Amino acid sequence: MQSATEDDLLQTLQYGPFNVALHAAIRARGLSLEALRRRLEEQGIAVSLSTLSYWQRGRTRPERADSLRAVRALEVILGLPRHSLLTLLKPAAERPAGPWLPVEELCPEPGVRDLLDEIGERGERLLTGLSLHDQHVIGPRRQLREVRSRAVFQAQQRGVDRWIAVYHHPHGVLPSSRTARGCRFGRVRMDAASGLIAAELLFDRALGRGETYLLEYGFGFEETGPPVWEEGRGFRTPHHEFLMEVRFHPSALPARCYRTWRPDAQTALKDSADLRLSGYHSAHFIEFGVPAGFHGMRWEWD
């Protein structure tokens, strides 16, 4: 069972404000401001007692580069998820919004709910997403060849032992192979009519509260698949870090790439930034404090 203090901490880390979250973290860890000051000093970061007091009371906020460095160090010292305090320093319009989106708000295919109901979603809401890296590999015929994902989660309560991965091919093609590292596939359900797959990824043990877990998984596709021009990831809850990369075959390079976003399945996909193709034939973006919704990339071949 989590203590009331820990419950308060998890809540304030998600919604803020910054000073309340910092105060809750200091109280939950049982550290004095002097102890924090000394720990920071050991890392070569000078912050006065009065400054730490002002931060947790809301009288001032960290803004300068050296102050933000101190906040990053405080996240480590206090045992908090990476960027959890830094995210709360963003303007309200840029912070993660919404505690939890139904999967139907992210994927327009009607069969997705049936697949998840068959597997069950035990414990997924008890995991905080810390880091998620997606890599999409495009073949010489402009077709999707592989999707690889690397994720780090933190358990909000003890006993969590799995996560559900859902993937929908842009043109309704089912994967021909799948891989897993740091986990194993449990129940897998597919909808051939829509190209949906839901897969249960089983951890090697039940996690303790606050414990982090790293896993990797991927789906492979046949060379005969249709050309694709968009990919992405739907987040049902805010995420701390998301890195997306698309790697193109040298003989199938796009003319332009764009970062895309939409808050739900009913909203049209919007371009939010131009992306540059590297000399190694890949485009990417990385974002911290990712709000719930669909985050992705599209490209134009001509």
E strands present in 142-253: 144-155, 162-168, 177-181, 184-191, 196-202, 212-220, 230-235, 239-248
Per residue of the chain (302 residues), give pLDDT as tens: 344 456 557 666 766 678 888 988 898 888 999 999 999 999 999 999 999 998 988 888 888 878 888 998 998 999 887 777 887 886 544 444 444 566 767 776 778 878 888 887 655 567 888 899 999 999 999 999 999 999 999 887 788 999 999 999 989 899 999 999 999 999 999 998 888 999 999 999 999 988 899 999 999 999 888 999 999 999 887 788 999 999 999 999 999 999 998 887 777 889 989 999 999 999 999 988 787 788 999 999 98
pTM of the model: 0.68
pLDDT value of position 250 = 96
Is the bond preceding 17 in cis, omega lying within 30 degrees of 0?
yes
CA–CA separation, 139 and 183 (whole Å): 27
SS3 66: helix
| Residue type at position 109 | E
